[in-house]
Structure 1
């Protein structure tokens, strides 16, 4: 199990939960009701699931694919540790992960 802390842009806790290995970070965030839309359902055709990974945790994740890097080039509020949460799969050896929601993030599914 991996314990994931989701922070709001201002650093306040948005949610915290545990998830088993193999869970996509986007799926966990959506189960918790966080505003990560994932419009393309993981096809990397959008960046509505963008998160900023804590610098200490970033190297422990798998590498970005060239396509994910390209999508992040068009993402607002991108940071050096940005990832698309649809591409982050929680691994068995990842005990904890902290991510921050970018400023202005909104889930447009309900509108």
Structure 2
């Protein structure tokens, strides 16, 4: 299991254990973390699972694919560390990952 910290826009933290192989989005949904809508269910087709990856974890989570970058055009307040959480696969190497959630997903 990898421990992932999801930080809501208001600063509320949710630390959850996520099974390797799942996405960061699935970890949030399965643990009832508010702020990730995931309208498309993880198909990289809606941008409602937008997160900001903590700077210390940007290299470990990798760069977004061309398709993900295209979908990020639909997210609000995109920053250089923006990712779609459905596209980040959890592994033991991501134990301790911190992501912040935007104020809203639409």
Please state how far the C-alpha of 1:104 moved relative to its aligned partner.
Answer: 2.6
The DSSP-based 3-state class of the residue aligned with 1:52 is strand
Quote the Cα distance in structure 2 between the aligned partners of 1:10 and 1:43: 27
Residue aligning to 1:85: 85
The DSSP-based 3-state class of the residue aligned with 2:59 is helix
* Ranges of 4+ aligned residues in structure 1 off by more than 6 Å: none
> Superposition RMSD on alpha carbons, in Å?
1.5
* TM-score, normalised by the number of residues in structure 1: 0.85
Aligned length: 105
The DSSP-based 3-state class of the residue aligned with 1:16 is strand
Residue aligning to 2:20: 21
The DSSP-based 3-state class of the residue aligned with 1:83 is strand
Please state how far the C-alpha of 1:86 moved relative to its aligned partner.
Answer: 0.7
Unaligned ranges ≥5, structure 1: 107-111
Deviations 1:12-44 (A, max 9, x none): 32x111122112111110122123111112221
Contact 1:38 / 1:46 at 8 angstroms: preserved in 2? Answer: yes
Residue aligning to 1:41: 41
Residue aligning to 2:70: 70
Kindly indicate which of the two structures has a greater share of residues assigned to helix: 2
